[in-house]
Amino acid sequence: MNSPFLCLIAGLTSLALLVSACGDAVTTAVPTAGATALSSPSAIQIQQPTEPAVQPIEPAEQPTETAAQPGPTGVSEALPVLPTPDCAGLFPTPPDAEGPYFLDNTPQRDSLVEPGMSGDRLIVSGYVLTVNCLPLTGVRLEFWQADANGQYDLQGYRLRGHLFTDANGYYRLETILPAIYGGRPRHIHVKVLPPAGGGLTTQLYFPGDSPLPALTVALTQNAAVMQAIFHFVLPTQ
């Protein structure tokens, strides 16, 4: 009689072990599913650093575009064209000494600034008019001057050149502020040569050390460039 009873006990024990084993399998499966759910945010976090890593490419391209832009010439082109001067009380521009440094056959150009040239950038502009306030078209303007160290180029055409007035008698030259040298004030030499002949040889001076008020430019500062305004007035042609 004990033998069937023992078999029953053994059977119940096996069933308990089976249930316990199944419970362990279910319990083990739950954290596995939870671990898979937690791994999804981790995958998103890994992708996030890769997005900012692409962004610095855009700022790196911007300095290249800025460096490619022109320097002083681009600044001078932003300056507005001067309005027509007041014609009240015009009188002929006085002559001044030519000096020993004029050279013929200068290049035609509206900028004397060359790559690597030192000195403060300067725009000299204005009109060439008659005493009756009529604009003079096609007037040749010869410019020559010292550099930022007070030196003239006597072998070539550095800081030398000529241009022509437009249909309104307007001219504009890009150059640098000349230096003081040999006790002389800052100045720019000019020849004003109308197509009809005659003309004027003179010099332009700057406020602060000018010996002749009638030949002194009106000087203003605009952004990174100085602007010198001077109107040449010639006798009636």
Domain ranges of the chain: 2-67, 70-234
Structure tokens at 186: 């800052």
* pTM for the structure as a whole: 0.67
Could you report the average pLDDT of every consecutive run of 10 residues in the chain (237 residues)?
A: 49 47 41 35 32 33 32 46 78 94 96 96 96 95 97 96 96 97 94 94 97 96 89 87
Alpha helices in the chain (DSSP H): 2-47, 50-54, 57-68, 72-77
> What separation, in Å, do the N-terminal and C-terminal C-alpha atoms of the chain show?
151
Burial of 187 (0-12, 13-18, 19+ CB in 10 A): buried
What pLDDT sits at residue 80?
61
CATH of 70-234, one of 1.10.3720.10, 3.40.50.360, 3.40.190.10, 2.60.130.10: 2.60.130.10
Residue type, 101: Y
